[in-house]
Amino acid sequence: MANTEATATETEEEKVLTDLEKVGEPRAPRKKPNEINAEELTGQIETPKVQRDVADHKPYLCKPKSMEKLGFPSELRSDWHDAAIAKMGDLLKKYKALQVYMDICVKCGSCTDKCHYFIGTQDGNNMPVARAELFRKVYRKYFTTEGKILGKLAGAERFDLDLLGEWYSYFHQCSQCRRCSVFCPYGIDTAEISMAAREIMDHIGVGQKYTNDIIVKVHEVGNNLGMNPKALAATLESTEEDLEEETGQKIRLPLDVEGADVLMVTPSADFFASPHVESLLGYAKVMHQAGINWTFSSTASEAGNFGIFIGNYGQMQKVASRVQKAIEELRPKRLVVGECGHAWRIAYSFWNTIIGPFGSLDPNYPRPQHICEFTLDLYNRGAIKFDKSANDDRVVTMHDSCNVARGARMGDQRGGQFTIPRELIKASCNRYVDMDQDTIMEKTFCCGGGGGLLTDDLLELRVQGALPRMQALHKVRETHGVNFMACICAIDKAQFTKVMPKYGIPLSVCGGVHQLVASAIELGAKE
Amino acid sequence: MSFEFAGKTYETDDDGYLVNLDDWSQDVASYIAEMEGVDMTEAHWEVVNFLRDYYQEYNIAPAIKILIKEMKKMFGPEKGNSAYLYDLYPAGPALQACKIAGLPKPTGCV
């Protein structure tokens, strides 16, 4: 410290921050998000004027205890600089795509106005190219000849504490939604860069509280919520009571049934939160009416897998291994995944290699299968019937989840991840309308809470990031009277119900696809 | 983070939720409620006590549907509904009542 002779008053007023605290400390105090009047929504998504350093959001730092439990250093390593560069070198070698993304950008500008956080915050560093540049300038400094020799002239920069602070801020203002990559002529995937950045930060002792605490909870209790098997059983039982009261029928939500035909893995929020639980009722009604012997598992009581958000495939595999264990325990024939965006990406694109191949499952069905495909198939085969008029109070639109839209597929047709949920929605209601074409399907806008940012310490950012989706929703509310936006993702549902009131849009506008199914399905004796 | 109350320091998480369940007492709860701007009445305590009992049994706060249903069973339909609970705890029964009950903040995709 240069100034050790600070007066007593000064030291009292200015708390001396550790290096780690400096990295995690926002430059301005966290504030409550502005309420946005619905009348201010125009339905148009405008490209804002670029501003510098206005989005000083930083999430809470992960506490030492959770860091240790995940095998990360508990505090910022004293050799953090060298360790970070060495880790970057490892990742560049291991993930060839990352190396290509570092070298291939031509600064064409296609991505600049495509990020919802840029549109919502106006902060220049939230333009995908600028975000990636925070990583690239370190890369150039240590891994390219011109950067080593020419330094700043070649766009290279030494990795210092200030830059690490910017990394912590802006790589937690990326929800890894991949919308920018759709517009990049070279296919640069900023999500991969942001995942690598978070992996490097965890490796040197700079972790994010929300995501890391949740991964710890999955390892220790079994799901993101921290709901133990006893609480899960009690919750399912209580939900069965509700279903009986509503329908007069004994609709089961079975748990840990060995030899059941279908193992259902769903986000734990479906058991607990609103409107998530409405979709849970939908799954149960479908299984009941189709006469399917199915079960949840207390071992695999979570479809979500936050390992991907921190770019750590070891953690991702460890979280996913619970599903593998449940298959061994319960020996199901089929594996079905509930409404969860990133979970479906991992299930569809990663499970086969990290916990598969699923040799014990019936090869006549997709392994795993998405609940929308599962239900639509039953409907198309006549095993279940819908009364569309049950949803006549609704004008429905659909919000495509990023990870389903851009990181996975459903069924065996190209674009099945877009058509299957829409067909299912249209089968269960009479009035459906899509939002603006530039905001749906592969061009869908993030809800603003994905990628491990669904935490209240980032609430202001979450409200800002939801702006483009709110504009598109507002437009169809004005033009078509839309009053229900169907989602297939637990994060979407939690995020929208939290931020929509800030835009003057009622909570009830957000719900699940299987919430519509739950209303429309005809229960009782089959003809 | 932490706060001082009646000469004792209470450790909390970043959002002000008590870290140690055993630190909780009615007096501490009243103090947290005061900081939250909630004036604790008999009706408020009914919710807080139920949350604590449920937590003791299950190690997690109840789902909101369960809270509503159990309140209905115990105190009748006029107390077993969402509007009533939001009236008592304007920042949300899940977040605010849990905080006053000394339970950890519910997180996940909720």
Look at residue A9 in the predicted model and tell me its pLDDT: 44
Instruction: Kindly report, residue by residue over A422-458, the tens digit of the pLDDT.
Output: 999 999 999 999 999 999 999 999 999 999 999 999 9
Question: Residue A368: is the preceding peptide bond cis (ω within 30°)?
Answer: yes
The answer to whether the Cβ–Cβ distance between A238 and B66 falls below 8 Å is: yes
Look at residue A38 in the predicted model and tell me its pLDDT: 66
A45: pLDDT strictly greater than 90 = yes
The answer to whether the Cβ–Cβ distance between B66 and A493 falls below 8 Å is: no
Look at residue B93 in the predicted model and tell me its pLDDT: 85
Please tell me which of the candidates B14, B64, B108 has its beta carbon nearest to residue A224.
Answer: B108
Closest residue, chain B, to A221 (C-alpha):
B59
Look at residue A165 in the predicted model and tell me its pLDDT: 97
Q: What percent of chain A has pLDDT over 90?
A: 91
The answer to whether the Cβ–Cβ distance between B60 and A228 falls below 8 Å is: yes
Look at residue B92 in the predicted model and tell me its pLDDT: 85
Partners of residue A241 in chain B, C-beta under 8 Å: 69
Instruction: Kindly report, residue by residue over A53-109, the tens digit of the pLDDT.
Output: 888 899 999 999 999 999 999 999 999 999 999 999 999 999 999 999 999 999 999
DSSP letter (8 states) at residue B94: I
Please indicate if any CB of chain A lies within 8 Å of the CB of B14.
yes
Look at residue A91 in the predicted model and tell me its pLDDT: 98
Q: What percent of chain A has pLDDT over 70?
A: 95
Residue A370 CA to residue A421 CA, distance in Å, equals 10
Look at residue B1 in the predicted model and tell me its pLDDT: 87
Q: Which two tokens stand for residue A293?
A: 């012997």
Exposed/middle/buried for A105, CB within 10 Å: 0-12, 13-18, 19+? middle
Instruction: Quote the mean pLDDT of chain A.
Output: 94
Candidates A65, A175, A221, A225, partner chain B, best to mutate (most B CBs within 10 A)? A225
The domain limits of chain B are 2-100
Tell me what the mean pLDDT of segment A499-512 comes to. Answer: 94
Tell me what the mean pLDDT of segment B74-89 comes to. Answer: 92
Please indicate if any CB of chain A lies within 8 Å of the CB of B110.
yes
Lowest mean pLDDT among A23-32, A388-397, B43-52, B62-71: A23-32
Look at residue A525 in the predicted model and tell me its pLDDT: 77
Tell me what the mean pLDDT of segment A359-363 comes to. Answer: 97
CA B13 to chain centre: 15
Query: Where residue A13 falls among pLDDT bands split at 50, 70, 90?
Result: low
Superfamily of domain B2-100 in CATH is: DsrC protein, C-terminal domain (1.10.10.370)
Please tell me which of the candidates B58, B66, B110 has its beta carbon nearest to residue A494.
Answer: B110
Lowest mean pLDDT among A27-36, A112-121, A201-210, B57-66: A27-36
Chain B closest CA to A409's CA: distance in Å?
22
B93 and B86 in contact (C-beta within 8 Å)?
yes
Chain A closest CA to B58's CA: distance in Å?
5
Look at residue A37 in the predicted model and tell me its pLDDT: 67
The neighbour count for residue A79, using CB atoms within 10 Å, is 10
Instruction: Kindly report, residue by residue over A467-499, the tens digit of the pLDDT.
Output: 999 999 999 999 999 999 999 999 999 999 999
A36: pLDDT strictly greater than 80 = no
Look at residue B82 in the predicted model and tell me its pLDDT: 87
A8: pLDDT strictly greater than 50 = no
Instruction: Kindly report, residue by residue over A255-293, the tens digit of the pLDDT.
Output: 999 999 999 999 999 999 999 999 999 999 999 999 999
Please indicate if any CB of chain A lies within 8 Å of the CB of B56.
no
Look at residue A453 in the predicted model and tell me its pLDDT: 98
A30: pLDDT strictly greater than 80 = no
Long-range contact list for B46-51, CB < 8 A, 24+ apart? B46/B71, B46/B74, B46/B75, B46/B79, B47/B71, B47/B85, B47/B88, B47/B89, B47/B93, B47/B97, B48/B97, B48/B100, B48/B101, B50/B74, B51/B97, B51/B98, B51/B101, B51/B103
DSSP letter (8 states) at residue A333: S
Instruction: Kindly report, residue by residue over A297-340, the tens digit of the pLDDT.
Output: 999 999 999 999 999 999 999 999 999 999 999 999 999 999 99
Instruction: Kindly report, residue by residue over A203-228, the tens digit of the pLDDT.
Output: 999 999 999 999 999 999 999 999 99
Please indicate if any CB of chain A lies within 8 Å of the CB of B66.
yes
A249: pLDDT strictly greater than 70 = yes
- The answer to whether B98 is a known catalytic residue is no
The answer to whether the Cβ–Cβ distance between A340 and B59 falls below 8 Å is: no
Please indicate if any CB of chain B lies within 8 Å of the CB of A277.
yes
Look at residue A527 in the predicted model and tell me its pLDDT: 57
Look at residue A27 in the predicted model and tell me its pLDDT: 74
ipTM over 0.90: yes
Residue A69 CA to residue A55 CA, distance in Å, equals 31
Report the candidate in A494, A521, A277 with the shortest Cα–Cα distance to residue A388: A521
B109: pLDDT strictly greater than 90 = no
Please indicate if any CB of chain B lies within 8 Å of the CB of A231.
yes
Q: Which two tokens stand for residue A241?
A: 């009571």
Look at residue A40 in the predicted model and tell me its pLDDT: 81
Look at residue A176 in the predicted model and tell me its pLDDT: 98
The answer to whether the Cβ–Cβ distance between A457 and B14 falls below 8 Å is: yes
B110: pLDDT strictly greater than 90 = no
Instruction: Kindly report, residue by residue over A129-151, the tens digit of the pLDDT.
Output: 999 999 999 999 999 999 999 99
Partners of residue A210 in chain B, C-beta under 8 Å: 107
The domain limits of chain A are 23-207, 216-433+482-520
Please indicate if any CB of chain B lies within 8 Å of the CB of A465.
no
> In B, residues 67-86, which contact A (CB 8 Å cutoff)?
69
A18: pLDDT strictly greater than 80 = yes
